[in-house]
A and B are shown apart, each in its own frame.
Chain A
């Protein structure tokens, strides 16, 4: 079951017996989608449509997307439905407002999705099944958070690229399997000695999405390491837990309502404060913005956040990305220059 964007509750799908598979596009050049969508739509959406048109998602039996009011998601959704239809497609309407008065609308949408899933599978998703799935996905989050913390003093043992790989895998693999492997990794890391004077420059990574591991590799290669992030493909995905002491459906609703938000629906200050928390946890010495081209929420607020950080004496580098890392040499030079500049203290 394909899911698109981080507001679709995996637990709900899993409890219905589905394997949630996160749609992330691909680093291949977009070609087929250009016939249907202008090139000034972000590459994530263009790539997802392109892959769908090429039949690369033919293995999914269903698709859930949210929010449609992301301006590129809406055409993607409609064009996907017209040109590469999947038997079962649902959209979840996420309120743009974060006011408490909008929460019931969101809860209602989740209930609608649950009902649609129940109709699809022909039976009720029981609270017991939901609770089991919540536990499973929470376990995955707990392990990823543990990895985040353990790695802080073991940067030399797990490169930024490998770390990103582990997190990306959690979005597409069966959760049971990923949790099992992740537990082995976490245990191994826990048993390993702490870094002894690792000289890597510690960086916080912010922005839209990172699926091109070459970029993380570039950071590793220039003597730096990513120690924290607030990416859609990072902590924004796994950081927030579901409260297991309340009814599972209520716990799910609360988690997705209050999770680290997509900037499409939150004030810039919200993301800024979260970023400061992560910078502290990761003891980051600088921040790299990966601003996905044509991603409006980031295009509008990233310059503001960058200014705020710089005013606090935190050095920043803003890079424009298009899913894939194209001009590798140029990006490497910019990151390297930035790293050297931060080392010299500005």
Chain B
């Protein structure tokens, strides 16, 4: 997540930084005003939460920030001392480790306790169990947005089921707010979400430019409103400013780094505790230009002429729902479009849905598309599962192989 003052190369990224800050602070204010705060696990359909006047808080993102601020290890250890395995997702271990801490010692005053717990089967089972544990511990109402498991295209019976699940979420929220979500408000958040996605895709397209105007390190921070604030105007404004700045740079042939020689892609959630490898490659003329984390998890166009089904399609169109074959094809195409020289796969112990097929993708990408890649062992939040020295050495060797 976005941290530090001097790291950003784009002016517009500072708008993103402010959105980030206001989002965490805003939750406290919301709660103080007596309004409902919901803890949402990854990919809980955020637009619907906004539309119902409930504040959607994403603890996973907060754990990522804690990790980026080098505070994850102690939190993980606290959770492990409660009897939880080191194999449990580190986002969870970071989160639970803060449970009894003084919120004043935490960034933005910590996370306010939830009034509601919202989870989904969309991207992983882990968060679903994590939310259940919280629900039992704190006696907070929990709601699951179930989702069909896709293998290829969605069939009508899966579509009907998922639409009914989305509507079930709305009913649950309405029961707790005591207010009906208006059709106008629904259409408003859908329209804003679609608009944000449209601009976000333009941003992604601009990164195909040679030289690339912005690197992964900055974009994995800028993606934040796509996770938490879809369906709001500030997100559209921020992405528009970002697009305009990148468009200008691309037009002027201005790159994020001088003398770009090789272009890389990152697969999986970054190891937030140590993102140095994302920028250290730049000293040798290599740049990370794209990552699946920002492309296939959040955001997507919505067919507004059929909004419920359109929205359902958007929610289901995510990396964990793609077959291995589809992932390979996407990467082969991405490699061409983004002029990639190689892939860095982060084998992330804490995220099985994004990690379990990596060996297969890596091998096929090389064999079938001639694009090489390496696998770095790590974890998205727990620094103990990642050896920076080893990762650095692997990357150096890889860059040498690419002729740098």
Contacts and interface: CB of A to CB of B under 8 A. Distances in A.
Interface string B309-322: 00000000000000
Contact of A301 (B121, B132, B146): B132
Interface in B129-167: 129-130, 132-133, 135-137, 142, 144, 146-149, 151, 157-158, 161, 164-165
Nearest to B360: A36
Contacts of A88: none
Among B88, B129, B135, chain A packs the most CB atoms within 10 A around the CB of B129
A300 B157 contact: no
Range class of the A interface residue count: 35 or more
A200 interface: no
B161 A38 contact: no
A43 B144 CA distance: 28
B82 interface: yes
Interface string A289-332: 00101101101110110110000000000101000000000000
Contacts of A307: 83
Contact of A91 (B151, B357, B359): B151
Nearest to B162: A105
Contacts of A69: 121, 125, 149
A67 interface: yes
A300 B130 CA distance: 6
Among B161, B168, B324, chain A packs the most CB atoms within 10 A around the CB of B161
A105 B83 contact: no
Contacts of A95: 121, 146
Contacts, number: 124
A261 B182 CA distance: 38
B296 interface: no
A40 interface: yes
B132 A267 contact: yes
Contacts of A68: 149, 151
Range class of the B interface residue count: 35 or more
A71 B87 contact: no
B56 to A, nearest CB: 20
Contacts of A306: 83
Contacts of A99: 144, 146, 168
A269 B125 contact: no
B149 to A, nearest CB: 5
A320 to B, nearest CB: 7
Contacts of B355: 38, 40
Interface of B: 82-85, 87-89, 92, 121, 124-126, 128-130, 132-133, 135-137, 142, 144, 146-149, 151, 157-158, 161, 164-165, 168, 323-324, 347, 349, 352-353, 355-360
15 contacts: A36-B359, A41-B352, A69-B121, A69-B125, A69-B149, A71-B126, A72-B356, A95-B146, A96-B147, A97-B165, A101-B164, A102-B161, A105-B161, A268-B133, A303-B84
